[in-house]
Structure 1
Amino acid sequence: MLPPNLVSTYQQYKNDTDSVAGWLASTARAVGYVSNSLAQQLPKGTSARLKGKARAEAKKKQSSSSSTPAPVNKYIIKINDFIPLAEFIASKRDVPIPGSLIATLRRVIIARGGFSSKLANEGASKDEISDAKHGYFLDILKKVQEILEAQTSTASTSLGTSLDKSDVKATDDDDFSNQFAALKVYEPSEDFLNAPEIERPKLHEGDNGVYEAEPPTSFEDLYIALTMLINDLNKIRSRIEWIWTNYRDGFFELAACAVTTNTAIDLARKLMEDVIPMFKSHGGLWEVLNRFHIVQAMMKGYEPFDESSNGTDNFNYDTYDIANDTYILTYRLLDAFTRVVQPRVIPLYKEGMFGHYDPRSSRDSKSGYQKFEEDRVLLMKFFAELMAVERGVGDYPVEDEFLRGIKELASTKEVPFYLVFAAQVFLDIHYILRENVNRGFDTLQANLHFLDTEIQEHFKFHKDLKINNWAPGNDQVIRYLKAKIQYILGDPVYKAKNQAYQKLREPVPVSMEPNIMLKMSPVLSGLVLYHFRSSMWEIGIGLADAWGSITYSLYLYNALQSQGLMPNSWPDMDLVRTILGDSKFFVGDTPKTPDEHFKKFCLQMGTTAAAFTKKRRGNLALASRSGPRGIIDGVPVSSMFVDRYRRGTGQVDWTAEHIARIVDRSMWETEGSEEDGTLILGQVDPKKLKPKSKPTKANKFSKFPPEELIRALMFALQGEALEFTLPYTAMHRECWELLRAVRKHCDPLLRQIFTPEYMERETELPFVVGYILCAPIERKDMRLLVEAGAAVTEFVRSDGNTVINLLNSIGVPVIFETEE
């Protein structure tokens, strides 16, 4: 079971209700209760046949607990059985009533109480049958609590959880009168983070049955569930707004913002699954959202309909801000677009057909209808772009939740709720960034041109330089990546729309500019950037490992620094060393003495010290069969999204539990506070981490509510952004050039000490470092190390800022600060 804070508010409420039903039924049966209603649900000797996810989870639990699966008995406890069960239990004077049961009953009563009276007081129309069902269950819950509390009083059991009726009413007013107040995001307090998990009553010992309360059917039950869901969704929206506000202000990086935002929408979709099945029995999503908006408008003192309107649309746009929280207008727009789209045809948006959007205008000064017009222009234009992808581009490299929802809509002709949420997030981002919304595409375009140039430089550098460790198939992968970059830069969406105009024999409008979709969606631009950046990161690390260029250059640089043979630093290597950490390169602690430098170098290469000494035989291989040790994998959080956004094979049904486990992998942590401006994002010292033998379900993030998990994920991805962006291909070339310079400078001395046979091919350049580190140990000769220091110093003076300069060129400035 998920920790309480990782599930939706409604799921917590439902779990409370089911646990009350389960305790009543299990305890009553254990002390002799016989009921036809319980027995008829599941004949003796049979088991419930679970389906789908429930069946998979049951099998998983069975396999982990026993080799012989036990049958799963499932019981649905009817509402009218609650009181008889409670009375039977109360009649058995020796049955203890746990405090967790009374506390859980209290939570359920508070959650349900007051909805009908609140609706009636605000003048909303009432469904008497529905209201009777709701009130009936609420009265039953109160009666059950009264019976059981009386039993605890009789037995003189001190529970400390007695429920005063005046407290219920007061708490109810506090909880539900301000459901749609302006949301603010706060960092969780230490008390919250250290609070114990919600305790619920347990089934009677030995009872392995599954108990659930009778499913609710009234509109008030749906209203309770939807209110809880909307509140959770708006908290997630508020956190997404926080992300893009910080992006606008220059604090967060594009790809990290995009991945976090889309993951947040994934998470919202999972929360919706608890409530969506209830929509069907109440007329579907449109009917539910419409009625929900009407109730909210009336509770705020508005008439939901504008009777003065002469058109078919009588919506009262003075309620726009309420509609913004209830998602009704966004749904109306998506539903309207769906109705006018012809089958298998790319809808072509012509500039101005629904008015014009001016991002430089002040949104705060606009009326409700003017805000709606902005929504319509933005969504209609972007809807056409996404439909062009769905119907005209079959191999677009990434898919966000908005595009995924459009594809589902095109297939089913229905608007899924998560698409409404994704569309609302799209609008929120536009209204935060306004005229700066194109900045995401500008960043993407600059990075794609940079990566394209990097690939050209790679093939130019390795035209005549080959190695067995780098298979020809690797270069094929790089060529394919280059072709894909050119494909995106060529805008396949624009080409699809162009072909659609040709079929209609209409000229392409002058106003139809290229890359509209990516310019309008920083999320898609960021995901495309992640797609290519992750590919280049993997290629760069693989290239550096195959050639040993970065690692062995670092071994030499570290030895020179520790021996005081380099007066100046090497900024590019300092950057790599800082963001990756010494543990990614060195076996154990960082070497400090000549003896440690040489021994750890040999260990890194997978060879013996004898390979570099006088005892070396002519046919002795320098490297072991297992090969050298590569750079230990980095970016533990960013790499978890590679399957989803690069290979297109990863899961899309992220849960809060998944996110908690991913964030727990992060090597970054925050210190200080956002509120007082002291927040710092810093690396975790690997030496302080406790080894983890197995991934555990519970970690410090398991107590975070969904919106705080999103915050933690954002910081984790932001912390890894520089490591993920660094051009390792360029660093590989720089390090190889350094090794060339060192070998050229030290060649006479190398020949003198180790004979001209010390190196036969250029691919053996990393072994030059071995000879340099070996000389002080084997020959007691420091001359090679001193000469190497002179060569590295000279090289760094002219070429040691190449990588940092490249990062600056794509808008990733690097500044070194010295810690005292």
Structure 2
Amino acid sequence: MLPQSLFSSYGQYKTDTDYVASWLLDTAKGCGYVVAERTAAPAAPPRLKGKARKAAKQKSKISGKESSESTPVYPVQVKELLPLAEHIAHASTPRPAVPPSFMRKLTRAIGLRKQHQTWHQHLSSAQSRGDEDDGHGHFIRILEKVQEALQSCIVPSEASAGRTVARNSAHNIPLTNVFDTLTVEEPMDEGDSSHGQGEIRTTCTVNTMDDPSIRNHERLFAQFCLMMDLHKIRTYLIEIWRVYAEGKEDLTVVAITTNTAIDFVRNLQKDIESTFSNQDLSQRPVCPLCIFQKLQSATATADSTDVCLLNTHRILSNYIKGFLVESDPLEYVPEVNPLFSELYVQDEGYIQDLAIVMGFIPELQLLSIAYPEGVQAEHEMLRGLRQLMQRKEPILWVTFAFQMYLDIRHVHKEDIAFAYDDLTDGAQSITRSINEALTCRGKAAVGKGTESGDQNLNSVLDLIEYWTVQDVVADARRLRLKDESRASLLPKHYLLQRDPLWCGLLLYTFRMIAYDRAIAVVGRWVSMSILPLAHLYNRLQQGELLKARWMDMDSVIRSQGIKHVFAGDLPCSAEDCTKRMALVMGLPLTMFARNRRNVVPRASAAKVRELITQVPVHYGFKDRHCDRGGRVDFTPGEVEKIVATSLAVPPLVKVNDIRQPLNRLTVALHAEVAELMFDYLKLHTICWEMMRRLEGELGSRVSEWSDTTHTEIELPSFVVSLMTEPAVKNPPPGKESELLKDAGRIMDELLRAKGTAVNLEGMRLVKNSARRKQRRRTGDVPALLMEE
């Protein structure tokens, strides 16, 4: 896994400067430079307390393995860098060659420092831009002099790039180009292509903590980098919610990505707080990118609506002061003002944001009180509100969470309830499927040993009903009101209809639990119905006895893989088809012996090969959202571990910025949505119906089956008997048995009616969602979306 530090702007900058210092020191020593004896232990940091100490402890656990494998790191003072570079430049032949990675990292570090200095000069308007004693420019000038001193040691292809960057001084960067380099893809360092950035080993670090003045400038620079990262995360999340609003992305994908991004922000905040003690990041946060964009815009106004966090911080601060400090938040929860209860308030600017938050946060506070241990699929806004109620002061990552909520509301405007519609559509589809499966199992008289499976399916129905049929927030409000009739002032599911993030996480939870129950919990019985018919379907195809394709079964075979479904390559001959089915159904090969007893082969649920789950990335979030017992503070590195389990995303060898792990997560989740939505329980009931039909019409013609009476639970064994019937297993060359032809006729009839039922249900949900959004945007729906 790549080092955790590479996922943040400040962490990347520290990695770059430490690499530069390490190369300078090691190379200078190789050229005869004498350095004072150094100790590997850096100066003791200030003793941390409270949350800062906890954050530092957690950070040390995460990076413990990386630290234990690294070489000793020695501190280098900023003032030492230039003498080291000058010594290397004046070294006798052979003169050391500067590696491309060195100049690339040095250039990147200078560029980021210049961006910060431009921002600092904008804030300090009283300070002259030509002031050469500017502390923010001191480090830049040293790095530029290092770059200039080593020009003669750079190979020609790198020298031109180095001189191009050197033309800009610390004071003449045009604002229009300040942030252009943020998304530039850089080539891999030579020699690192197979191992990536994670293989860099530094031997020293640039010490910016001993000198109070340098430390203060470094703190401001780190905060600048943090706000840059927050802006990039925010713009990425706004974009994927716009894609969802256009009907081109699934709600669960954008919800999981958004909630995980808030985790990233919380961890970025912890990293800065653990590095700089007593750092208050929550007081009036200012986004440099937003300010610069506003200054450059021809339509710029004094309104701060589109500036990251400003309005949100102001609104939350006022809410904390008015309702969390001056009264007990556990005892008094303000009611939603009817003026703020509309789906989208038409005012503009701060008033609009205030109305949106005040129409939402009281119900969220009520929910947090009613469920102090957490709700199902809890998101970070609710978890953050609990912390605000305890601390009674703004928290940066919580402000960011509510900023994203405002952004989502502004993207959807009056259509904010589309997420609620997607949730209820998905929940109703899952409910129908489970009820059909339970009815099927009841008719099959599954018997003892499967009650727990039925209980698990019923528990999914109970969960869906509790969170989408009942109105738990209204119930909690009613308990707190003396006049119970007043609770009806708000429409049913008022909070859910205004909280697309919670809707998305709930929908993910329902899908994930239903999928898990279908494959992992009652998977043996699902496999007992699907797999034998998969083999019969293949046998009929190989004999060219089917006119229709079973699209749903084809989807299963593609997802599960031919080798898993058929215990090897796709069988083609009649005998191979029979033997492979026996292997998959857990039957001994002795059943094919010539002198075996004439006994019906019994397929056992305990021995059948089971279907396997195919959504590893979604499973990475199951403990958190479904079981309410997993991690709630994922770091980019930990998310990358989850994403690495996906075959749809190539391995990560280089990090560009904090948006990269979020985008990879979005792509990985998107690739698994179709599989997660695939209704194995529905296919199970269709397969069971098909086995009933086959046995009802052909049972008397199968010799091993017709000799005894059977219960419906033995239907999978009938398919085995049908496949092992001598005329089916060993047909004359070029001629298939009438028994198998009739089996093909029966399957064809059912496939025409239900061969695509599972895929069509998934397409119906997707089309319904897209249709709602398309009609709202244009007033018209394309013919493709109108087709059922």
- Normalization by structure 2: what TM-score? 0.80
Q: Is residue 134–residue 218 contact of structure 1 (8 Å, CA) maintained in 2? A: no
Q: Is residue 663–residue 701 contact of structure 1 (8 Å, CA) maintained in 2? A: no
Q: Which piece of structure 1 moves more, 103-112 or 416-425? A: 103-112
Tell me the alpha carbon deviations over residues 600-626 of structure 1, each in whole angstroms, 9 at most, x when there is no partner: 111111223442665333789745897
Q: Is residue 223–residue 292 contact of structure 1 (8 Å, CA) maintained in 2? A: no
Cross-structure match for 1:169: 168
For the pair 1:563 / 2:560, whether they are aligned, the reply is: no
For the pair 1:465 / 2:444, whether they are aligned, the reply is: yes
Whole-angstrom distance in 1 between the partners of 2:287 and 2:126: 10
Whole-angstrom distance in 1 between the partners of 2:92 and 2:132: 37
Q: Is residue 33–residue 87 contact of structure 2 (8 Å, CA) maintained in 1? A: no
Cross-structure match for 2:49: none
- Determine which of 722, 726, 751 is the counterpart of 1:796: 751
Q: Which one-letter code corresponds to 2:255 in the other structure?
A: A
For the pair 1:79 / 2:57, whether they are aligned, the reply is: no
Cross-structure match for 1:239: 236
For the pair 1:766 / 2:725, whether they are aligned, the reply is: no
5 Å matches for 1:136-151? 136-146=138-148
For the pair 1:431 / 2:432, whether they are aligned, the reply is: no
For the pair 1:730 / 2:710, whether they are aligned, the reply is: no
Cross-structure match for 1:519: 497
Q: Which one-letter code corresponds to 1:60 in the other structure?
A: K
Q: Which one-letter code corresponds to 2:531 in the other structure?
A: T
Displacement of 1:718 in angstroms is: 2.7
For the pair 1:782 / 2:774, whether they are aligned, the reply is: no
- Determine which of 565, 586, 590 is the counterpart of 1:585: 565
Whole-angstrom distance in 1 between the partners of 2:529 and 2:227: 54
Cross-structure match for 2:386: 407
Q: Is residue 116–residue 131 contact of structure 1 (8 Å, CA) maintained in 2? A: no
Q: Which piece of structure 1 moves more, 619-628 or 376-385? A: 619-628
For the pair 1:374 / 2:374, whether they are aligned, the reply is: no
Whole-angstrom distance in 2 between the partners of 1:793 and 1:778: 23
For the pair 1:124 / 2:129, whether they are aligned, the reply is: no
| Cα distance change of structure 1 residues 416 and 701 upon mapping to structure 2, 3 Å threshold | farther
Whole-angstrom distance in 2 between the partners of 1:485 and 1:234: 36
Q: Which one-letter code corresponds to 1:376 in the other structure?
A: L
Whole-angstrom distance in 1 between the partners of 2:280 and 2:67: 38
Q: Which one-letter code corresponds to 2:309 in the other structure?
A: Y
For the pair 1:213 / 2:207, whether they are aligned, the reply is: yes
5 Å matches for 1:179-190? none
SS in 1 for 2:616: coil
Whole-angstrom distance in 2 between the partners of 1:647 and 1:724: 17
5 Å matches for 1:559-708? 559-577=539-557, 582-611=562-591, 615-617=595-597, 622=602, 627-668=607-648, 699-700=651-652, 702-703=654-655, 705-708=657-660
* Count of equivalent residues: 740
Cross-structure match for 1:326: 308
Cross-structure match for 2:508: 530
Cross-structure match for 2:344: 359
Q: Which one-letter code corresponds to 1:389 in the other structure?
A: L
Displacement of 1:564 in angstroms is: 1.8
Cross-structure match for 1:693: none
Tell me the alpha carbon deviations over residues 734-785 of structure 1, each in whole angstroms, 9 at most, x when there is no partner: 11111011011111211xx326346643322112222222232357672321
| Cα distance change of structure 1 residues 169 and 624 upon mapping to structure 2, 3 Å threshold | same
Q: Which one-letter code corresponds to 2:136 in the other structure?
A: H
SS in 2 for 1:567: coil
Whole-angstrom distance in 2 between the partners of 1:40 and 1:195: 30
Q: Which one-letter code corresponds to 1:8 in the other structure?
A: S
SS in 2 for 1:169: coil
Q: Is residue 21–residue 213 contact of structure 1 (8 Å, CA) maintained in 2? A: no
SS in 1 for 2:228: helix
Q: Is residue 130–residue 220 contact of structure 1 (8 Å, CA) maintained in 2? A: no
5 Å matches for 1:304-319? 318-319=301-302
Displacement of 1:656 in angstroms is: 3.4
Tell me the alpha carbon deviations over residues 98-143 of structure 1, each in whole angstroms, 9 at most, x when there is no partner: 3344543343333323755665477624599997432333333344
Q: Is residue 259–residue 526 contact of structure 1 (8 Å, CA) maintained in 2? A: yes
- Determine which of 47, 60, 67 is the counterpart of 2:65: 60
Displacement of 1:403 in angstroms is: 1.9
Whole-angstrom distance in 2 between the partners of 1:239 and 1:196: 29
Structure 2 alignment gaps of length 5 or more:
45-54, 771-782
Whole-angstrom distance in 1 between the partners of 2:233 and 2:168: 28
Q: Is residue 551–residue 756 contact of structure 2 (8 Å, CA) maintained in 1? A: yes
Q: Is residue 552–residue 769 contact of structure 1 (8 Å, CA) maintained in 2? A: yes
SS in 1 for 2:571: coil
Cross-structure match for 1:679: none
| Cα distance change of structure 1 residues 588 and 484 upon mapping to structure 2, 3 Å threshold | same
Q: Is residue 106–residue 147 contact of structure 2 (8 Å, CA) maintained in 1? A: yes
| Cα distance change of structure 1 residues 595 and 175 upon mapping to structure 2, 3 Å threshold | farther
Whole-angstrom distance in 1 between the partners of 2:334 and 2:753: 53
Q: Which piece of structure 1 moves more, 457-466 or 532-541? A: 457-466
SS in 2 for 1:251: coil
Q: Is residue 346–residue 497 contact of structure 1 (8 Å, CA) maintained in 2? A: no
Whole-angstrom distance in 1 between the partners of 2:729 and 2:165: 84
SS in 1 for 2:621: helix
5 Å matches for 1:69-108? 73-83=72-82, 93=92, 96=96, 98-99=98-99, 100-108=101-109
SS in 2 for 1:637: helix
Tell me the alpha carbon deviations over residues 143-181 of structure 1, each in whole angstroms, 9 at most, x when there is no partner: 44455557x59xx99973785487341798668645579
SS in 2 for 1:77: strand
For the pair 1:21 / 2:21, whether they are aligned, the reply is: yes
Q: Is residue 661–residue 699 contact of structure 1 (8 Å, CA) maintained in 2? A: no
Q: Is residue 279–residue 285 contact of structure 1 (8 Å, CA) maintained in 2? A: no
SS in 1 for 2:608: coil
SS in 2 for 1:325: coil
Q: Which one-letter code corresponds to 1:549 in the other structure?
A: S
| Cα distance change of structure 1 residues 714 and 118 upon mapping to structure 2, 3 Å threshold | closer
Q: Is residue 291–residue 307 contact of structure 2 (8 Å, CA) maintained in 1? A: no
Whole-angstrom distance in 1 between the partners of 2:343 and 2:437: 44
Cross-structure match for 1:133: 135
SS in 1 for 2:205: strand
Whole-angstrom distance in 2 between the partners of 1:146 and 1:200: 28
| Cα distance change of structure 1 residues 357 and 746 upon mapping to structure 2, 3 Å threshold | closer
Whole-angstrom distance in 2 between the partners of 1:631 and 1:60: 36
Q: Is residue 533–residue 725 contact of structure 1 (8 Å, CA) maintained in 2? A: yes
- Determine which of 395, 401, 412 is the counterpart of 1:416: 395
The Cα RMSD (Å) is: 4.5
| Cα distance change of structure 1 residues 717 and 62 upon mapping to structure 2, 3 Å threshold | closer
Q: Which one-letter code corresponds to 2:717 in the other structure?
A: F
Displacement of 1:578 in angstroms is: 5.4
Whole-angstrom distance in 2 between the partners of 1:199 and 1:147: 26
Displacement of 1:524 in angstroms is: 0.8
For the pair 1:541 / 2:519, whether they are aligned, the reply is: yes
SS in 2 for 1:588: coil
